[in-house]
Structure 1
Amino acid sequence: MPANNQADHMAILARKWMDGTITAGEMAEFEQWYASFDDAEPEMLQDETPEALRERLYDSIQRGEFPAEKGKMRNLYRYLAGAACVAFLTSFSFWWTQNRFSTFPFTRIVMVDAGAEIEKAMLPDGSIIWLRPGATLKYPASFSGGRRVSLSGEGLFEVAKDSLHPFTVSVGDYTATVMGTSFYIKESDNRRDMQLAVLTGKVKVGRKDANPSFGTQIVLPDEKLLTGDVPAVKRLSREESTSYAAGTGYDMNFRNTPFSLVVARIEQKFDVDIRGDLNRYASCRFTANMTDQGLDYTLKLLTRSVGITYKQEERIVHFEGGGCK
């Protein structure tokens, strides 16, 4: 590729990297090009943040100011740390802590820490994670490079259904992969093993080191897997299933429930605001099990039951028409 064309192409990839929209293939191409330069270190500004540095590197790419001689550039951490002041190292260390688990090290990572209460996390694909107190979830701001998250602690996962893009959770020495299902994971105190309970769908579990002694375990609904020296799959009791969902908005099974309460539950679970002449539905009651269903399906099922037409604009849902006698 001619030099000018390559510079323009790399500038485009750099912007995608900055925006979090770069694909896995483009990321591999960008990393290969990025690693082909000399070991030269940039002049650091005293109070420069990681985000500001990324913007400055992007501007340099656009202007074609990267060194032209071939060689091996240091990894990003050493590249930045070599000339950084103490204040910069502090901020970059925090950024590195959040990003180092990712297959794509330049992807911005979101970290959610649960405090003393259950914390809900809404992921870019619509999946919902209910984190137990003390748990930490890390995930990329964009799932363009794959649906992969990391969990420390325990949480209940409602994974958005997507048969083309598996969802993988990294916990301890193991990974759990699904297409769309709900399950509960608890990391063991030794930070290596885990307990996994499947409420709906099925989950494939493997070790990160692909240890042949463990192989691959398929866990089905109402089953739980206990890893350790002797992994075991056992039946899940109703009491256990109930305890895993306690304190969350997971259970969406309604039986002759007033319409207003159903609307309130939907708003709370999916972080939406439902508007319209809601008084016209005051006499309506609703019966259906919408547990482990996404927002689109939930809205369609509810509105069709009473003849409502709805329109969604980002986090606002407008109800029109319909009603009950």
Structure 2
Amino acid sequence: MQTHERATAVISKYLKGQATTEEKEWLEQWFLEMGNAAHLELGPQTTAGQHKLQERIYDNIQHTILAQQQQQPGRKLHPLRWWALGAAASIALLIVANWYWQRPAPPATVAMRTVSTHTGQLSELVLPDSTVVWLNANSRLHFPATFGDMRQVELEGEAYFDVHPDPQHPFLIRSGAFCTRVLGTAFSIRSYAVSHSFRVTVSSGKVGVYNPADSTQMILLTANEQLNSEQDALQPNVRHIEAGSYTAWKTGALRFDKERLDEVVQALENRYGQHFIISDGQLAALPVSGAFDKQDKLENVMKILARVYHLHFTPTANGDIAIH
């Protein structure tokens, strides 16, 4: 081991109080020998942190030598050596600082935030990049307090995004098993854990939807296009729609355009907190259209659906409502 490498190791142990008697004696001798090199150029002014470390090295060495003098009263240290000791401590500082300040910095921890909504609750929030998000009922958005090179968030439930344009920093939404990538656009995503369906509706701009396991298979959507897929496997089921009908919920209204009855029922559950049961698979797939304002009561909505689609809503003993 080279002298400077050994000095670095011994100084580190010394400052931690772990140096052996032999190592302390070697270090003292090394410092005194380094005093002969006091004429060396020690470099530019050190920082405040380096000054503190230098003082700590100097004080610890001084304390050790004084302690040894007390144990050996006959031993004298020439005044020149005290001056050399300071120079040697400065040189030792360079060795220690090279190890201390060049250590890999620990990765910065980015604070994460989560916004959640409950039944019947809508929430509007602004992300750190000025992107505006409307969060539908029974939904959750997880995002960092500050964005890095990639603006990435996680969504469970339904949300409408008005993404702030920034071509250098793409915006990525992870929802269930899929990712939606955009540069600047307005669109909504619905991906409830209790549902088997995944839906992306684009109001303006362009988005790409893909499975992270195979990002080469990306489905592109433009304004007034909608992707409907199963949660477990991305399917290229794209259709043209009137986007406003599928994003009206952010204003409190409910708009349905040939949506499956089970999807309509889920929207009613999120709005009113009433649980429904559909035991007939064919009935669950019944296409339903309609428009309801946020002032409409659930009883009124059920009456209209019953009259138009010949449905029956029957309360059960446990408080649910069966549809048949």
TM range (shorter): 0.3 to 0.5
Structure (1 or 2) with the greater helix fraction: 2
TM-score, normalised via structure 1 length: 0.43
Larger Rg: 2
TM-score, normalised via structure 2 length: 0.43
